[in-house]
A and B are shown apart, each in its own frame.
Chain A
Amino acid sequence: MNRYLLVSITVIISLWYIASCLAPQHILPYPHDILYALINLILYKNLLVNIGWTLLRVFIGFSLGVLLGLGLGVLVILYSFLRDIVYPFITLIVVTPSFAFIPLLMIWIGLNDLLAITAVIICTCFPITLSLLSAVKSIDPDLVDVARSLGADNRVLIRKVILPLALTHIASILKLEAGHSWRIVFVTEFLALSTGLGALMMNSYSILRVDEVIALVIVVGLLALVFQYIIEYIESTIMKKWGFME
């Protein structure tokens, strides 16, 4: 592990101990209490199963959101008249705060798994469509001309040239949306579901178990970080393969 990271973790934990000595225990427990709370969550409150639920929702919602976002983008590229029809609506959805959709979806869909997945799809799909459309504009027109002269029809052109090249441009949006998916799923579980990390958090909050709440915050943060690293790893592997990165 990086030496500086180790030092900073040690400093933070030390400061935490000092702060815990000064603050009441029901506001800021000691770090070792958080560790006990974590073990307690794993043993008696199905933490790992709830992590599984949250991961599943994030994964399904994010994957479908990306696929639908790219699919819609491809349709707009193929049929340019669609651009004028869908563009204003997509823009409107993208600028609306994502959490604003959750109450509406609770009424429409009900309090079930589909709620979290749909919320993630809505919040992931349209920014990806928008960034795909703007990425396509930045593709060198010579590449498209050459592909067409070599024999590519629209299908081959989009599948083999436009989408792979656009993906290099929308990689940063994918990373942002991956983090966003975590937030949406967590809030949805917190507000409306009975399983998942958000629901577990709601449960701990309702009985004022600060140690569990802090343990869950750390777990959610670490999992989102791992998710982010996986996306970054995939991105950098592709970029390295194509020579865009050393």
Chain B
Amino acid sequence: MTTIELVDVRNYILKNISLKIDSKTTYIIIGPNGAGKTTLLKTIAGLVDYKGTILFNGEPVDHIPPYKRSIGYLPQSNALFPHMSVEENILFGLLARGYSRSEAYRITHHVIDSIGLSDLRKKYPLKLSGGEKKLVALARALAIDPDILLLDEPLTGLHYDYCTRVLEVVKEFGRDKTVVLVTHSVDEALWIGEHICVLDNGVVKYSGAIEEFMRSIDKYLWYINSIECTIDGYVENLLVRLKCNSINLYVPIDMIGSAKANLNSIVHVVIPYDKVFLSKNPFHPSINSFKGVIEDVNRDYVVVRISDSIKLKTLGYRLSISNGDYVYVKIGLKYMYIF
């Protein structure tokens, strides 16, 4: 069990970060590209220089090198050693930490078996799929029995099956120890996290419970749309009709938590900007599709007004459109999050 505390931590990217991460927590760090998320992980791991103080369980660790901090680090690239087999990759940390060869082999085989990698034991990383690489990298980080697990975008680009397997392992670890996970994806944050920190341009914009954060998510993350709606009715016990200003949105009934399922309850619909689709022609079927007018086109996103008070950011900047053009917008049923 390890609590992590950052006091006024700063370096070439981070600007006076103060944070407290409790033990037995899965802590999410979210933010746009270039926000400093990976740097924050590396700073906790002691892999980059910083000023300020980092405490593990109240004890400063600033002068403790990375290999003496009890951390497991999984970078986005996995960073498997290409010249070592799966087994050797996992053995590496144990032998480097001074375990005897027999003990290191025993632990490695135990970890390999428990994560279900027995068939890959003698394979080299270049022969593995993306999901297999991620599991091996995770197994390698866990084999040294760290107190803290630092994960950088662990689910990005993974097939659903592998996401589930990675998450099972991470959640199991997070029951007793501390997990800090970096992501830019809202659904990953929702799937995994309990507490969240929003980082932007090296500054903490929000730190706290994930539920609270989701209600005002668009204030913190420019790439997220959030709309306030009320539950207006049900369609054949499959869909819920939401009234959002002058438009209706339909969402699968299982997306609405039972406490909020009453008619006229207020809910927040969260839609990542890359899940709002744009076209110059009408969508078929037309459920959750709206006609709108372009209000802003910039380098990062396009703003479309679909009702008097609802504007959506979308990823349509590649279309040849300009302000004032009429377009059609569609929100995929499964891409919304309801709070």
Do A and B interact? yes
- Chain A interface residues toward B at CB < 8 A: 140, 142-143, 145-153, 156, 160-161, 164-165, 168, 238, 241-244
Task: State how many residues of chain B have any CB contact under 8 Å with chain A.
Answer: 30
Looking across the interface, which residue of chain A has its beta carbon closest to that of B123? A243
CB-CB < 8 A to A151: which residues of B? 67, 93, 96-98, 144
Say yes or no: is B77 at the interface (Cβ < 8 Å to chain A).
Answer: yes
Say yes or no: is B287 at the interface (Cβ < 8 Å to chain A).
Answer: no
Say yes or no: is B81 at the interface (Cβ < 8 Å to chain A).
Answer: yes
Say yes or no: is B75 at the interface (Cβ < 8 Å to chain A).
Answer: yes
CB-CB < 8 A to B92: which residues of A? 147, 150, 152, 160
Partner of B67, one of A153, A160, A164: A153
B73 in contact with A146 (CB, 8 Å): yes
B144 in contact with A148 (CB, 8 Å): no
A-B contact list, 11 entries, CB within 8 Å = A140-B79, A145-B79, A146-B79, A148-B67, A149-B66, A150-B67, A151-B93, A152-B67, A164-B83, A242-B83, A242-B126
Known: A150-B97, A164-B83, A242-B126. 15 other contacts (CB 8 A): A147-B96, A148-B67, A149-B47, A150-B67, A150-B73, A150-B141, A151-B67, A152-B67, A152-B96, A156-B96, A168-B83, A238-B83, A243-B126, A243-B127, A244-B126
Chain A CB within 10 Å, residue with most, of B71, B76, B77, B125 = B77
CB-CB < 8 A to A140: which residues of B? 77, 79
- Chain B interface residues toward A at CB < 8 A: 42, 45, 47, 65-67, 69, 71-73, 75-77, 79, 81-83, 92-93, 96-98, 124-127, 137, 140-141, 144
How would you classify the secondary structure of chain A's contact residues: helix, strand, loop or mixed?
helix
CA A149 to CA B98, docked complex, whole Å: 14
Closest beta carbon of chain B to A142's beta carbon, Å: 4
CB-CB < 8 A to B126: which residues of A? 242-244
CB-CB < 8 A to B76: which residues of A? 142
CA A161 to CA B84, docked complex, whole Å: 9
B83 in contact with A145 (CB, 8 Å): no
B140 in contact with A150 (CB, 8 Å): yes
9 interchain residue pairs of minimum CB distance: A150-B93, A243-B126, A142-B79, A151-B96, A151-B97, A149-B73, A243-B124, A146-B79, A151-B67
CB-CB < 8 A to B47: which residues of A? 145, 148-149
Partner of B124, one of A152, A153, A241: A241
Looking across the interface, which residue of chain B has its beta carbon closest to that of A238? B83
Looking across the interface, which residue of chain B has its beta carbon closest to that of A164? B83
